Structure 1
């Protein structure tokens, strides 16, 4: 049987030089950590972190029918995205199950860039191609054209300021524009997956090493450090951001995940999954996503049962869990029965045979502090 070779990002040599520990993730060899999970997590919360996200999938949808094709394919309103803006949305199956969650950037009137999770990018490309049939739109797998670097944290703007041609404070959240960073052309987006201020830079693969090293050098004075997938997971968990394969899957709909707001029933035309999602919007899901906290030292992990404390019977399942570096206690997300979902509800998590008390809380667990009036900037 032929083996599938693990892919490497254009920054692999830079990660090796920094002494990264690697892991195989979605067919890619990715940096898991550099200095350590806690140090990297705290750096993103207090100063800045630099992430290689080049494993993500990029798909271009172009042509006079691009908006129509995406409106049909996705649950969101692609035709309503302004040029230079972006929107979080989902690709759902006919039964409403989530095939992937996506960010869609509108680069021009007739051009969109769809960013998919690495493991799902081939499926997303196929589904978009099939759903665009009959429209005047072309779907192009453009992943080989891009590297993706993220600068995240309170000092992200300060790190980029001396390198970037753009007016960073004026760039709105979920907006993008063409810019140069360290003399290299990029698509600069004010997006991220950590719960912090930050930017994502789409560049040509050959430009990625120079960009990475320029950002490391410029960010050194602002506390920026290279950061890996391990801290990215604890950061997004604290921020209550769902991850496909954990909180999101083909077995749940946006309404299960508390993300029914991304489904736009008011957009023109039909879209895949509309009938099923309309029905569940009325009936309500059988389980809903909640946050859990614990006073125990042991964190509930993915797949652990959630129990009714009075009987020990299962009422849900943990989707993600870890000790929270910021909060100093275990946190988790879980699907539970709706009658067990109210904040303050006491439940238990089966952690390797021990029933540890947990409490339902509102998501997210963490919100970044609001800037003081003296530091508030546009966007």
Structure 2
């Protein structure tokens, strides 16, 4: 069955319908990864977005019960060139099309994804809608409160380790939780707006601010809370969590031209000069000129475009990175970030900071 992708630019693409039988809206983005389509679709950072797979063949190893990064698909819709209907992998439980239908997500195949990526790179932020009918006018829609939609509503506890980490959930990936549990941590997942008083009552040894969707400035009412947390506990920020650490100390963020989404982004560790290949998924970036260098050291920079990729507090055990050290999908070159964080946690937990209550 034929379906249509309509862009706010006026461009219209025709494709073959797959997945759920419903209309979908969102910001049009692309990912350059060759594998990891299940992890991409279930990454909550994609909430409110229509994902274009730039790799030409999707679905060849099926989908399974272990690789999802959240309990449900996060993307609004998917666009791809060719889909494999006969996957081959010993863990495979679903074909790509069956998985979309079960999750209630529509998509279009046989799309000119090269042209789509070219449009996104040229037009930057592009809103889109997919429908089985051509619409006479482009609909108006807003993204909504994305973090609120993907964050847990109440606390969850995982693992039984001696080190206790509170994970602030802005749309966390399961692989972040898995990495902490694998390192012997007890992890308490808390909502994005969890109060400082409740956090103290949990008695964590450290705090991790997770990844998540949308514009970090929508969380401005909580910047004071996040700064208080970082002043009181060893803290690691990842992706959106990195941006929130920077913003809570007075830095600024900006919308990128078309974002970083893929598993082959090189970043340079400035103290050593070492370059690592990283997994990334973000549309906003911290403006490096707004970082207070009397408070933070800039630790990582993107090799391709020079954008800010990491900071570290000069006095407190606080660091954050724009990329994903847990990978999935992508390389695990920067898994040492978790080791550094947990060394700070082990060194004294909240006693490593001056408690500000």
Question: What range is the shorter-chain TM-score in?
Answer: under 0.3
Q: Which has the higher contact order (CA 8 A, sep 6+)?
A: 1
Give the TM-score, by structure 1 length.
0.25
